[in-house]
Amino acid sequence: MTKPFSLWGGAAVLASSMLSLSALAGAPYAPVTFQNASVHDPSVIRAGGSYYVFGSHLASAKSTDLMNWTQITSSVSATNKLFLNGASNVFTELAETFSWAQTNTLWAPDVVRLADGRYYMYYNACKGDSPRSALGVAVADKIEGPYVNKGIILKSGMWGQASYDGTIYDALKHPNTVDPNVFFDNGGRLWMVYGSYSGGIFIMQMNPATGMPLPGQGYGKRLMGGNHSRIEGAYVMYSPVTQYYYLFTSFGGLDAAGGYNMRVARSVAPDGPYFDAQGVNMANVKADPAKPLFDDASIAPYGVKIMGNFLFERKIGETGTGIGTGYVSAGHNSAYYDAASRKHFLIFHSRFPERGEQHEIRVHQMFMNADGWPVVAPYRNTNETLAAVPRGFVFGDYMFVNHGKDISATIKKSRLVTLNPNGTISGAATGSWALVGSNQAEINLAGSPPFKGVFLNQWDETSGSYVMTFTATSREGVSIMGSRMAPRSDMQVVQAVYGELSLGNTNAVTGDIVLPTSAARDSAISWISSNPSVLSNTGQVTSPANDVNVTLTATITKGHARAVKTFVVTVRKLGSMVAHYAFDGNLGDATGAFGAGAVVGSKIDAAGGSMAYEPGMKGSAAVFDGASGVRLPDGLITGNSYTVAMWLKPAQLTAFSTTFFGARNGDSWISFLPKGHDFVGGASMLWSGTAWYDAGLGMNIPAGQWSHVAFTVKNGAVNVYVNGAKRFSGVNFPNVFTTTNGVFALGVNWWDAPYKGSMDDLRIYGSALSDGEVASIAR
């Protein structure tokens, strides 16, 4: 709970405190909306008034505006309509490819329309743990298929055998025949660029009449990479605006921890040589063969890095909700130039901060800077147009990101800088800025060559408003971005922080509390505890002998503005029951510490749903219908020592369906599944998404009868019990609940099919119970 706040700062500050917080948001805007789809490694083509993207695992989607996407296909299957033609399907059409590559899936394809009016899909498959791959072409009369195989063009990974250039295949210098991009040059010649890791990125000239390679080229010409450097996803775009060919690639690993980032080089000829902004011929960029495989340090300094992991971080007190807007391992892009509008577009897949491996298509506009290099708009495309920018619209505070040149999983969070009216830059970066012409940006930062780019008004999804942005790159190949924040006085900042500052549910705390110390516009938050021996000024909890109420006082400051907010925290004795949901005809917490659960639909945040009750093991039990769940109060578990116990009677066993689910965010969670995934043989399991921890039980709790399930966690030591007997014991279980506002649910999560069955007597404890204590509540 909280208490009223008080303010200091003099008459002027007090007067400003009377301003309505609603006035700080600025004028209202008609919201811009998007429809998302998931296509990994999206390759773009325009056909019939729509933009299509085709990607790995035979996924595809289409859009008329590059904002709203409709999913067409999503996986390699016998029913995927791209290859479905009577009795023929992708497995029969591409049987030779799957056999050679020793896999049952496909990697990143590309589709191009040739002079005969038909669509040519350049498909490929790879074994994955080696460059044993096959790349071929299939043809369709319509872009959505069905495609008919014309045959394999290239193979790789033929160990000990002659390759296409007549020498024994060597993965250090020969390509992995995957990830094709087929394009016409400015003179009408057809080319295919391809490759991934292994020997690098290669290019071949193709026959525009047949779609096949011209003879006598072997694997073609190497453009960059080699010695297993992590470079892939090549795509070439010609820009009539600059008369350069731009070769886009992705450096690093594609997963959320891989540090994927997009880079570009350019050439006056389609087959190179391609140079970066420092003048380096990219054909000389490869991994050091003396280093271990996938040595990123050898390649990180090269290419123009246009985007890496970043987050325009929304801090406490800023407009909007959530953590902000940003990307993780964005990459394997395609690019499109629209001749009618003279606009350039970057189309890529991305993961997202705190969302694990989930990925979606994103489209951003690109603009050519004064030096002829593409700079990427900070926010996703809304078909905005580069227009004249009044100088007065540029002044103000910005979220600022410097993408650097590193290959790293680190998310570069925005820092606060101010573009001052006198042309200087202050804050986390210093230097000067200039508006050149109507919208060109020149940013000079201490110790760096000039960054050249554009100022652009864009839609910011987080704040729900249009904001001034800048994007620019330097001759070192480093890109920067900025997003202007709503003008606010120091007191307005403090008031906004005060209004949002929360510690979640503090009625039953048993573990340490994360106390924020910074907020909007670098405002500071300091804390004082009324009982530091139980709850310290830094949020550390020492278990009391009995439950204790502690007052935490937060002082929020920015400049001379100040506000105080207090929170009453109930610190419970470690080992006591934190919450007890008995399901005796309702969803109330019998301890009174927490509120009742709320019925939801098929996902945690879905409306609807219904709940029934039947006789259970201890009074009544809740009956889950397979389409509903229960959203429990936030903050039920707040530390790294706890016990969850419940009675379960599944009506059916469905893989991935959760019974008890708790999460810090979409990437850090725990879940108890009556039926787990294939890696535990479908057994019941306790699962964590933070480090993909699989606590498989080696058995399934049976459908149609009651079983008591409990799991205990104590600083990484985890035990799982069925009917009082220990079925799993392990260590290094992730510390998920590091905040007091974790999300909890029964029967549903954000992704999977809901649980169908019954549940009774859910108990949550603030410590790890002993074997005997678990056995006693399982009776």
Write out the catalytic residue numbers.
41, 232
CA pair distance 592, 113, nearest whole angstrom: 66
Could you tell me which residues come within 8 angstroms of residue 688 by beta carbon, excluding any fewer than 6 positions away? 668, 669, 670, 671, 733, 734, 736
3-state helix, strand and coil shares in percent for the chain, rounded to the nearest 5: 10, 40, 50
Q: Are 504 and 511 in contact (CB under 8 A)?
A: no
Tell me the C-alpha to C-alpha distance, in Å, between residue 320 and each of 163, 198, 379, 411: 57, 45, 15, 21
3-state class (DSSP) for residue 58: helix
Q: Are 277 and 290 in contact (CB under 8 A)?
A: no
SS (H, E, C) 68-113: ECEEEECCCCCCCCCCCECCECHHHHCHHHHHHHCCCCCCCCEEEE
Burial 527-563 (b: 16+ CB within 10 A, else e): bebebeebbbeebebebbeeebebebebebbbeebbb
> How far separated are the first and last CA of the chain, in Å rounded?
37
CA pair distance 514, 516, nearest whole angstrom: 6
Give me the long-range contacts of 47-53 (CB less than 8 A, separation at least 24): 47/113, 47/119, 47/143, 48/143, 51/336, 52/111, 52/143, 52/144, 53/334, 53/347, 53/361
Tell me the C-alpha to C-alpha distance, in Å, between residue 18 and each of 12, 95, 169: 10, 72, 75
What radius of gyration, in Å, describes the C-alpha atoms of the chain?
A: 29
Q: Which two tokens stand for residue 747?
A: 């029967």
Q: Side chain identity at 227, as an amino acid letter? A: N
DSSP state string for 278-290: T--BGGG----TT
* Among the listed residues 349, 336, 344, the one whose alpha carbon sits nearest the alpha carbon of residue 374: 344
- Within 13 Å, how many C-alpha atoms sit on residue 476's CB side? 16
Tell me the C-alpha to C-alpha distance, in Å, between residue 248 and each of 235, 335, 537: 5, 8, 50
Q: Are 532 and 27 in contact (CB under 8 A)?
A: no
Instruction: Decide: residue 696, CB within 10 A, 0-12 exposed, 13-18 middle, 19+ buried.
Output: buried
CA pair distance 246, 268, nearest whole angstrom: 9
Count Cβ atoms below 10 Å from residue 115 Cβ, excluding itself. 10
Q: Which two tokens stand for residue 526?
A: 């300091």
Q: Are 159 and 171 in contact (CB under 8 A)?
A: no
CA pair distance 118, 757, nearest whole angstrom: 52
User: Helical H runs in 488-555?
Assistant: 490-500
* Among the listed residues 309, 522, 279, the one whose alpha carbon sits nearest the alpha carbon of residue 402: 309
